């Protein structure tokens, strides 16, 4: 279980961005963080992944405080999948091996190479393992980014807008990969995503951020017209079809 307790952070002391964030996400679930631009989603992810240090609060994984851990220990728990990696001129294999760097000192061990090979097989990347990452399609590159994070053997994968630059086919590919990783391997996935319909399809738990806090959270039932209006200031209509919910949103009071 990932638990965030009363997390406070400001880039400067006068203007806190996070004013006491609390949330809980169970193991093997996909949690989706939503909110307007500037709500603090990336800031929260940067704190979870150790890029920023909070002013107050705790982040616990299975009761252990991530903020008290060494970099190496923490890398075995949380891995980050950025929207875009500046890959450099590396092969897929070398890129995924870079995910092991917190485990070895100078040279990777046989066990490190085995982890990389297993991840490549699992992500169906074996056939492209010798290709330069820069030559791959956007969807394949994103899969390599996930594979690199998985090579870290984390318990939590954090994604910041994983589908932002992808076409709809690749969007689905990446969302389905991430769901599979969570549900089959029991890895907790915590991701931001803008599109509310995509969020509903992707997630198990949903967290809406506003004014530096989690304004509301829960299962799919949290998608309500008044909540969308409160968080985003837009009108929404929720339609159910074959037991599945869809949200239409629009700026005025007419569709
Ligand atoms: P989101 O990911 O929800 O769009 P961010 O976490 O990027 O939001 O930003 C939250 C707030 O923090 C915004 O007001 C943004 O301008 C501010 N902010 C983000 N990064 C920095 C930074 N490096 N220095 C100062 N302010 C920042």
Tell me, in angstroms, the distance from the centre of ligand 1 to residue 14's CA: 14
Exposure pattern of 214-223 as b/e (b: 16+ CB <10 Å)? bbebeeeebb
Q: Residue 203 is part of a domain; what is its CATH number?
A: 3.40.50.300
Residue 65 lies in a domain: yes
Tell me, in angstroms, the distance from the centre of ligand 1 to residue 43's CA: 6
pLDDT at res. 36 = 96
pLDDT at res. 109 = 87
- For residue range 77-132, list pLDDT tens digits in order: 999 998 777 777 899 999 999 988 877 778 888 999 999 999 999 888 999 999 99
Exposure pattern of 108-142 as b/e (b: 16+ CB <10 Å)? beeebeebbbebbebbebeebbeeebeebebbbbb
- Residue ID of nearest Cα to ligand 1 atom 23: 11
Residue 36 lies in a domain: yes
Residue 150 exposed, middle or buried by CB count within 10 Å (0-12, 13-18, 19+)? buried
**In this model, does residue 13 exceed pLDDT 70?**
yes
33: left (phi over 0), alpha (psi -120 to 50) or beta: beta
Instruction: Determine what percent of the chain is predicted with pLDDT higher than 70.
Output: 98
Domains in the chain, number: 1
Exposure pattern of 158-182 as b/e (b: 16+ CB <10 Å)? bbbbbbeebeeebbbbbbebbbebb
- Residue ID of nearest Cα to ligand 1 atom 13: 38
Cβ of 39 closer than 6 Å to ligand 1, yes or no, is yes
Structure tokens at 218: 């829960």
Residue 159 lies in a domain: yes
**In this model, does residue 4 exceed pLDDT 90?**
yes
Residue 240 lies in a domain: no
Contact 204, 150 (CB under 8 A): no
Cβ of 35 closer than 6 Å to ligand 1, yes or no, is yes
Confidence of residue 253 (pLDDT cuts 50, 70, 90): low
Q: What are phi and psi of 165, to 5 degrees?
A: -105, 15
Residue 232 lies in a domain: no
Residue 184 lies in a domain: yes
Cβ of 46 closer than 6 Å to ligand 1, yes or no, is no
- The domain in which residue 138 lies consists of 2-222
Choosing from 16, 18, 42 the residue with most ligand 1 atoms within 8 A of its CB, the one to mutate for a pocket test is: 42
Q: What is the pTM of this model?
A: 0.92
* CA-only gyration radius of the chain, Å: 19
Local structure of 61: helix, strand or coil:
strand
- Residue ID of nearest Cα to ligand 1 atom 7: 42
Residue 238 lies in a domain: no
Tell me, in angstroms, the distance from the centre of ligand 1 to residue 159's CA: 17
- For residue range 144-191, list pLDDT tens digits in order: 999 999 999 999 999 988 888 788 888 888 899 899 999 999 999 999
Q: Which of 228, 255, 237 is nearest to 35 (CA)?
A: 228
Tell me, in angstroms, the distance from the centre of ligand 1 to residue 61's CA: 25
> CA torsion sign, 51 to 32 to 185 to 142?
negative
Residue 71 lies in a domain: yes
Cβ of 162 closer than 6 Å to ligand 1, yes or no, is no
- Residue ID of nearest Cα to ligand 1 atom 15: 38
| CA separation for the pair 228, 236 (Å, rounded) | 6
């Amino acid at each position: 279980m990932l638990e965030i307790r009363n997390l406070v952070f400001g880039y400067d002391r006068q203007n806190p961005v996070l004013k006491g964030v609390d949330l809980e996400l169970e193991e093997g679930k996909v949690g989706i963080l939503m909110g307007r631009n500037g709500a603090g989603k990336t800031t929260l992810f940067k704190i979870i992944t150790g890029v920023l240090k909070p002013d107050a609060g705790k982040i616990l994984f299975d009761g252990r405080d991530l903020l008290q851990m060494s970099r190496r220990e923490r890398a075995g728990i949380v891995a980050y999948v950025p929207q875009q990696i500046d890959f450099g001129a590396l092969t897929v294999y070398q890129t995924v091996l870079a995910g092991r760097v917190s485990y070895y000192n100078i040279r990777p061990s046989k066990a490190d190479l085995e982890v990389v090979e297993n991840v490549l097989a699992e992500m169906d990347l074996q056939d492209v393992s010798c290709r330069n990452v820069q030559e791959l399609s956007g969807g394949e590159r994103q899969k390599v980014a996930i594979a690199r994070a998985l090579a870290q053997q984390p318990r939590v994968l954090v994604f910041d807008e994983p589908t932002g630059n992808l076409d709809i086919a690749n969007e689905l590919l990446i969302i389905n990969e991430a769901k599979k990783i969570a549900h089959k391997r029991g890895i907790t996935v915590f991701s931001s995503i803008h599109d509310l319909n995509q969020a509903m399809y992707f997630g198990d738990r949903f967290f809406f951020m506003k004014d530096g806090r989690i304004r509301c959270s829960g299962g799919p039932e949290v998608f309500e017209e008044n909540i969308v209006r409160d968080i985003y200031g837009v009108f929404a209509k929720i339609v159910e079809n074959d037991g599945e919910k869809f949200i239409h949103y629009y700026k005025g009071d007419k569709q």
